Structure 1
Amino acid sequence: MTADPRLTEAAYQGTALKVDQDFYKRIGEQTEKRTLVQEFTVQIRSGQAWEVPAGHVCRISTVDGPQVGDLNMWNLHDPRERFWAARTRQLQAAHLSTYDRLWSTLPFLRPMATIVGDTLADYGTDAEGGRLHDTLGTRCDPYVSQMLNDVSFDYHCHSNLVRAVLPFGLTEFDVHDVLNVFQCTGLNDRDEYFMKTCPAQPGDHFEFFAEQDLLVALSTCPGGDLSQPMFGSGNEDPVENCHPLNVSVYALDEDLTNGWTEPTSPRYLGAHGLRAKTWS
């Protein structure tokens, strides 16, 4: 029996999800109209935070080998507005690529960034159902490691992100669910989350256009390319599978962003049913 395609259509649809692909394609392709304003390397098993002004492009690239990076994102001026992985998964996809957007939390609910470049976009879905740049899983953390394996380790992605944002006045409570850049994941036949070896090669990149002034933080995952389990009985520490990631921030020529304006939040003016009622 052939499944009715109407039963598997995206649950969330509407014109607010339409993207001007021609606009973002120009930004992604016309790299000669960029000026490098910041560049640095995030070393293995570490994290770093940085600012990306609205209208700029940020590129994350592999340096000398495959490496997974865990990405967090906040509005620079109000960190209560931050990347919302679950809603992005619903509005866009479980695995993101070019023209997908990263959405912010309530009550803001607007695009924080739009993906304009992905050298691994053609990876698609592999034989096991693995796909790249996932919002399904979240950052590795020392609490789970302690709980499952009784191992104390200070350089999980959660901890790396915590250290990265402290200079910006944020704390562990501000670190949130991530976009797993370059990570290959999926769900198995038992609906369980799995991770595969990162397929990125030196020079692969993933880049996004900042739709608002952003504070961004990135952790280089201590599992490196995730080709072997990190902890557990008999497992070796896979430090040899870890590689740095490079970050570049670019200003764009004005003609590339003509007509662009920062996205606004939905104009919900209700009070969540908390208005006082009047009785006749």
Structure 2
Amino acid sequence: MTQNRLQEAAYQGPALEVDRDFYSRIGDDTQSREVIDEFTIPIRSGQAWDVPAGHVCRISTVDGPQVGDLNLWNRRDPREHFWAARTRQLQAAHVSTFDRLWSTLPFLRPMATIVGDTLAGYGTDSEGGRVHDTLGTRCDPYVSQMLSGVDFDYHCHSNLVRAILPYGLTEFDVHDVLNVFQCTGLNGNDEYFMKTCPARPGDHFEFFAEQDLLAALSTCPGGDLSAPMFGDGSSDPVENCHPLKVTVYRLPEDLLGEWEQPSSPNYRGAHGLKPQPWA
């Protein structure tokens, strides 16, 4: 009889190692931080904001459990943005402290490193649920119309679209998200499921900006996701919705030490398009 064993991760190498002592100091030393920006995002809304390189951003619950859909772009070149699929491969399907959020090709470098997570101890529940999800993506009005026949303007996709318009970006710039505080998994049929958000007032999720970032967050219209949003039995769960608070902190220079912004891989090929020596 064969025994189940844990398969090794497909992606390995020193480029995936992080200096845990460095990021632990950043996450632990909350007294020397300086607040440079703070605001609350109302229910069923979205907002975009700057997170300068070397700063920390905290997303926190205010008065109840609430899921937030997060997008990230390089502030100077929005073609570089968060890549959920590669983050799943390089880190995990559900991320927490010391995991990194990676950017798209051809940049492929850390955009942020998670330095604080009050739900880190949630682990895996009895149904296989975990928090801070990269498996799923944002809810959107197109799937709402397709599955439920309902036009609704405040899904996360639409909230993010409205949030980034003042920055010169459009619907085409919205991309797959990190679902902060969201509890999800795959069932026995390998189908995606969502569970009630386990966050409580005051829980938070923090990331350290590895480059100058534009961030945008939607307060999901499903709120804590305790009620189905699509298909039979779905209803409008507005009573389950709560705001989220965002705080951006400047760190003291001595805490950053010799930290530098990460660089992209030094790939010098041309995808096979350069002239061959025999041509």
1:229 maps to: 228
- Structure 2 distance, partners of 1:243, 1:57, is 23
Letter in 2 for 1:147: M
Report the TM-score, using the length of structure 1 for normalisation.
Answer: 0.98
Q: What secondary structure is seen at the aligned counterpart in 2 of 1:164?
A: helix
- Tell me how far 1:74 sits from its aligned partner: 0.1
- Tell me how far 1:199 sits from its aligned partner: 0.4
Contact 1:231–1:237 at 8 Å: present in 2 too?
no
1:3 maps to: 4
Task: List runs of 5+ in structure 2 lacking aligned partners.
Answer: none
Calculate the aligned-residue CA RMSD, in Å.
1.0
1:269 maps to: 268
- Residue 50 of structure 2 is aligned to residue 51 of structure 1: yes
- Structure 1 distance, partners of 2:232, 2:117, is 37
Letter in 1 for 2:48: A
- Structure 2 distance, partners of 1:147, 1:21, is 45
1:208 maps to: 207
Q: What secondary structure is seen at the aligned counterpart in 2 of 1:224?
A: coil
1:26 maps to: 25
- Structure 2 distance, partners of 1:234, 1:83, is 34
In the TM superposition, 1:1-280 aligns within 5 A as 1-5=2-6, 8-279=7-278
Q: What secondary structure is seen at the aligned counterpart in 2 of 1:33?
A: coil
Give me the identity figure in percent.
78
- Structure 2 distance, partners of 1:17, 1:278, is 35
How big is each residue's C-alpha offset from its partner over 1:221-241, in whole Å with a ceiling of 9 and x where there is no partner?
000000001243443310000
Contact 2:184–2:195 at 8 Å: present in 1 too?
yes
Q: What secondary structure is seen at the aligned counterpart in 2 of 1:249?
A: strand
- Tell me how far 1:279 sits from its aligned partner: 2.5
Contact 2:83–2:102 at 8 Å: present in 1 too?
yes
How big is each residue's C-alpha offset from its partner over 1:125-164, in whole Å with a ceiling of 9 and x where there is no partner?
0000000001000000000010111100000000000000
Contact 2:147–2:230 at 8 Å: present in 1 too?
no
Letter in 2 for 1:138: T
Count of matched residue pairs: 278
- Structure 1 distance, partners of 2:101, 2:245, is 21
For residues 4 and 182 of structure 1, do their structure 2 counterparts lie closer, same or farther at Cα, with a shift above 3 Å needed?
A: closer
Report the TM-score, using the length of structure 2 for normalisation.
Answer: 0.98
- Structure 1 distance, partners of 2:135, 2:163, is 23
How big is each residue's C-alpha offset from its partner over 1:25-54, in whole Å with a ceiling of 9 and x where there is no partner?
000001011000000000000000000000
Letter in 1 for 2:20: Q
Letter in 1 for 2:3: T
